[in-house]
Chain A
Amino acid sequence: MDAKLVNPFVDAFTTVMPQMGFPEPKRLKMNVREQNAVSKGVSVIVGFTKQIRGNVVYNMTEDTAKFIASTMMMGMPVAEFDAMAQSAISEMSNMLTANAATNLTGMGLEVDISTPSLSIGENFQVKISDAQYLTVEMDLAGHVVELDIAVEQQ
């Protein structure tokens, strides 16, 4: 896939997260991957259609997911990754992807996004592409959120 399509996702992350009360995220590393992603515990998939087709996965540990949910809910303690916390992470994924979609539109690409699907479990595999795709790790106040980006321009 084209590396220029990664920036809209990274920019969305660095723009949206501070608006929800997080410190400025830092981009850690970017890799090309061929195999399936292994979930860190919580993985949210959002799909794209129209001029961009593919999927993005927000992959994080349950601890990170709880930290994010708690911050989004104004510091409310989140002991269990329950329905409310799951809803917060889904919402975050939706906001990040919608923002990335807006960035892609700014590049002249018409896109539509699906609703997020949030999966929870241990060591399950996530396959989003038959080909190579890119992963970017973002540091969020010491927590790591991995973005797996497999999108192609039509």
Chain B
Amino acid sequence: MEFSVGEDLFSVLVVTGLVIVFVAALTHSYHVYAERRNASEDFDLALDIAKRLRDQILVGQNDQIGLLELSHERLEDYSRILALQGINLRVEVRTLEGESLFVRGPDLNPFEHYFSPPVGVGLPAAVQNQGLAVLCELSVQVWRG
């Protein structure tokens, strides 16, 4: 094999450059594809968790579905089960005026989760608070770690 400097070497540089550019583009496309798929799966997971919290975990003692009773213990147990599967959970209950009634889970730093951002779902919910049913937003955030 012989190289004539200035011709064959130039063509090798050109094609190597092209290959690098296209492989980078392919990798990026796959990354975008995988990110979309993960975001969709995480959103589905967040919906499942929010539904389970509403219908089972935080349901009041008289089993009245739709009226939540805030319990750190029950949420702690449920979070532990999710943590075993590598799923992190933050639950917040806010009144419609924005006052926070209940928070469980770590504060989220946007830079810390730059590569796997948390996915969130918010649902309206009536919450038992000091003998009254208060209309709130149940906010569930899920991320893998």
- Binding partners A and B: no
